[in-house]
Each structure stands twice: as structure tokens, then as C-alpha cells.
Amino acid sequence: MTKGLSIIGSTGSIGKQALNVAKHLNLNIKALVTHSNLAKLKEQADEFNPKYIGVINEKLFNEAKNLFSGYKLVCGSKALDFSCSLSSIDMVLIAVTGLNGIYPLISAIKNDKKIAIANKESIVSGGKIVNNLIKKCNAKIIPVDSEHSAIFQCLEANKDFNKLILTASGGAFYDKHISELNKIIAKDIFHPTWNMGRKITIDSCTMMNKALEIIEARWLFDTKNIDYCIHPNSIIHSMVEFNDGSILSQMSNPSMELPIQYALTYPNKYPSNIKCLDLTQNLIFKPKREDVFIAPRLAKQLIDINDDLGAVFNAANEAAVKNFEEGNIGFMDIALKVEAALQKYNNIKVHSIDDIIEIHNEIIKEC
Ligand code: NDP
Ligand code: MG
């Protein structure tokens, strides 16, 4: 169990659930870092009494200085990674949204911290560069994303697998006709099962979340043998098919607190607040709709053809989501924008984190 935990993105959906887990397990919170939500951060600091506070939005420096006078405060972009080098911190949970998660990730790898990673954009974009660094530093990363946590747990039984099978709820609009999908606007967005941050909720509706998770799995488990299936009740969190034809899965009632807790207590399991499954309910599977929701197909092609394109995929999606939110493009245009960016940059090769940041910023600027 962690002796000193830093939560980067504590005011978000994952961050708040991580603090529930920390309370349940009586964990020692050393640092809380967030972007702008000072009111929530203050509430959390009052309750968990961390030594260090980070506020990424430097415009809030004066306000933060007043609110957090009794703490060691770091403001601006350095707030993203400062807690990853402190000797009193042995574990870092990276729960910010977007590519910014790559800064604490790199820092935590280099500083030999245990890493619980919720932020998928850093793995999708950072891909092989992050993996090379992990190997070089012999770092240990434990996935928080429920699908990857499930696979991680199944692989503890045996690593000799044929294929990873991610489960997908299908999103809120899985059953809708294309004519209705074309009319969806930002205020229609929701998720039927999971209560998550805004960006990932949009990604779930477009099936971009599954696409990002396919690329995330490519790097977390160092394989290209990845498929997905539609399982609307989100009870099976993912599966691994082994070479003897058997499949292992990990199941529970849907709650992010379980994979968060496992990442924080790995390799041990502790009692949690989650109710055990009711085994009288049916497990539902449905066919894929890849002609309509093209994103997972794009991700599978990417890992087969040029897996350096993760940064392009992620940046084009981040830009398209923002444009959709602002009403500049339609719901079904999001995946088309990503497809167009993949075509435009199809030969790209990345050699460093700087290359990844550069291509990311270029795509965000041009979209
Ligand atoms: P939220 O939007 O709920 O929270 C995001 C957190 O990041 C907040 O603390 C926010 O601070 C901070 N933040 C906002 N903007 C920035 C920025 N530009 N740079 C750095 N930090 C920023 O997101 P979620 O908790 O839903 O998701 C976090 C990550 O976890 C994402 O990568 C997501 O894909 C992944 N994930 C989430 C799941 C979920 O169930 N929510 C499931 C699996 C993975 P502030 O509040 O101050 O704005
Ligand atoms: Mg997930």
C-alpha cells in the first residue's frame, strides 16, 4: 500500500473517487494538484490535509496563495510534475484530462514512483516513447481505466495470451439511426452507466473512448492483438483470450472505485464499498456498428499500419471534441475529422516527447 500519495487531477471525476478510496483505506495524501477548481480543492485540502498543493492555472496564483497559505503551494505548468519528484511521495495517481498528463507521467517514471495511470491521452500519444522510458527506468505502471485494469488482472493468471478483448458499453446513442445521430448537439451528451468528466463522456458517445482504449492497450500490454465487443451493461470490464481457447474476464458492478482501489493497493485486494454482483441478471452482448461508429476501426488500422500516429489521433480528437462543444462541427464529424488527420499525417514518425508535443500543438492549432 502507498505510504505517500499524490493525486494529480483531484477535483475531477477520477480524482474525487480516488479520494473516496483514500478515505476508505485511510491512505496518506501528500499532494493534491488541480487546474482551476480552487473551491473544491480547498474542501479536499481541509479534509485530507496534504502537505503540498498544486494549481496548474497560473492566473489563479494570487487567489491560491491566499487560500492555501498553510501549505507548500506550486502554481503554473510546473504544478503538473512537481509532486512526482518529492521523496515523501511513493505513488502518483495521474487523473488529469488531456495530453498534459504526459508531464507528470514522464516525471514519475524518471523519479521511480509507483504510477497509477487514469489519463489515457498520455499513453495513446506517448506510445512507444513512453514505453521505451518505462523499460529503461524499470518503472511499474498500473492501469486505472477499468478495461485495462481488468486485462491487467486477467494477465496475472497467465501472460501467454492470444488476444485482448475490450468491452464497450456502446455509448448513449448506440441504437440511434444515422439521421438522429446527425442531429446530436453538445447538450444531448450523457452516459447511461458511468458518471465521468465531460471529455470522456463525449468520447464514449462517439466510440472514440474505445478507440483511444485500443491504442492505450496496444502500449500498456505491448501487443497488436486487440479487439472489442459491445456489452451494454458494463459488468464484464474486459477479457483476455488465451492460446488454449479459454477466456478470462474480470467482472463487477460498474464503479471506477474498484480499479482505482486496485491500482493503489496492488498487488493486494482489500474490502471495498462496492456491492457484489447480482448473478440473476443477464449479460448482454450486441453486434458492433462499425459502419456508423468508425472510431474503433480507425484505431485498429492505426496500430496495424503506423502506431506512431497515436499523437495525431488523440490531438485530432481533442480538437474535434472542442469544436463540437462550441457548435462548429456536428457529432458525426468528430470521427471524420480524426480520419482526415490520420490521412494527412499518415507517414509521420515520432522520436521524442518533444515530437509528440509539437505534432499535438500543430494539429490543435490547425483544427
Ligand atoms: P474530469 O474532467 O472530471 O477531471 C479532469 C481533472 O483534470 C480535473 O482535476 C481538472 O481540474 C484537471 N484539468 C482540467 N483541465 C486541465 C488541463 N488543461 N491540464 C491539466 N489538468 C486539467 O476528467 P475525468 O476524471 O473524467 O478523467 C480524467 C482522466 O481519466 C482522463 O484522461 C480520462 O480519459 C481518464 N478516465 C476517466 C474515467 C472516468 O470514469 N471519469 C474512466 C477511465 C479513464 P479542474 O477541476 O480544476 O478543472
Ligand atoms: Mg475505460
Give the per-residue pLDDT at 192. Answer: 83
HSE on the CB side for 364, CA within 13 Å?
13
- CA 99 to centroid of ligand 1, rounded, Å: 11
259 Cβ inside 6 Å of ligand 1 = no
Give the per-residue pLDDT at 194. Answer: 82
Q: Please, are residues 196 and 13 in contact by the beta-carbon 8 Å criterion? A: yes
DSSP E strands: which ranges in the chain?
5-8, 29-34, 52-55, 72-75, 91-94, 114-117, 141-143, 161-168, 226-230, 236-242, 247-251
**Ligand 1 atom 4: residue of nearest CA:** 12
Q: Hey, CA dihedral for 55, 24, 106, 341, is it positive or negative?
A: negative
- CA 196 to centroid of ligand 1, rounded, Å: 9
- CA 193 to centroid of ligand 2, rounded, Å: 12
Residue in 7, 11, 14 to alter for ligand 1 test, most ligand atoms within 8 A of Cβ = 14
261 Cβ inside 6 Å of ligand 1 = no
- CA 144 to centroid of ligand 1, rounded, Å: 13
Give the per-residue pLDDT at 138. Answer: 97
Whether the bond into 259 is cis, omega within 30 of 0: no
Average pLDDT across each block of 10 residues of the chain; the chain has 367 residues. List them in order: 94 98 97 98 98 97 96 96 94 96 97 97 96 96 98 95 97 96 96 89 97 98 98 96 96 97 97 93 96 98 96 98 97 98 96 97 93
Whole-number Å distance between alpha carbons of 60 and 367 = 28
Q: Please, are residues 361 and 219 in contact by the beta-carbon 8 Å criterion? A: no
Checking DSSP bridges between strand 91-94 and strand 72-75, what pairing results, if any? unpaired
Give the per-residue pLDDT at 367. Answer: 82
57 Cβ inside 6 Å of ligand 1 = no
Q: Which three cell numbers stand for residue 176?
A: 440511434
Give the per-residue pLDDT at 137. Answer: 98
118 Cβ inside 6 Å of ligand 1 = yes
